[in-house]
Amino acid sequence: MLRAVFLVLGVAFGYVLIRAGVSSYDVIRDMFLLKSFHMYGVLGVAVPVSFICVQLWKKWGGRPLLGGETDWSIEKVSKSHVIGGLLSGAGWALTGACPGPALAILGYGAMSGLFIVAGIFLGTYIYARFDD
């Protein structure tokens, strides 16, 4: 039952991403070129909503779906964080999608979503393979 709830929430989240325009390459490109500030507004709403959700997760003792515990420790910034951030930003700028919108793009059937998601999985594999 809980998985069905999360499936519905995920589909709803994807719908909101599409309606907000964040799955549009043109919108993302215009954000990076400082031609449009629409995405900054979307991010300005997403950050406080995410903060509230994390606080509720902590308060209610949320646990990962696949078991284990949530690790709330704070790591020192390392070289791998900087490199990963630069690569993630480059991928976002080149494809016009970060992981959330990439899945939304794939969900509405655009073939470009397949390549974006494949790149995300490749990056995740490389991280796991070479992480310190």
For residues 95 and 112, the answer to whether their CB atoms sit within 8 Å is yes
> CA 113, CA 76: separation in Å to the nearest integer?
33
Q: 10 Å Cβ neighbour count for 27?
A: 18
Low-confidence ranges of the chain (pLDDT < 70): 132
Q: Hey, CA dihedral for 54, 102, 106, 67, is it positive or negative? A: negative
Q: What is the pLDDT of residue 87?
A: 85
> CA 71, CA 74: separation in Å to the nearest integer?
9
Q: What is the pLDDT of residue 132?
A: 60
Name the residue ranges covered by the structural domains of the chain.
2-130
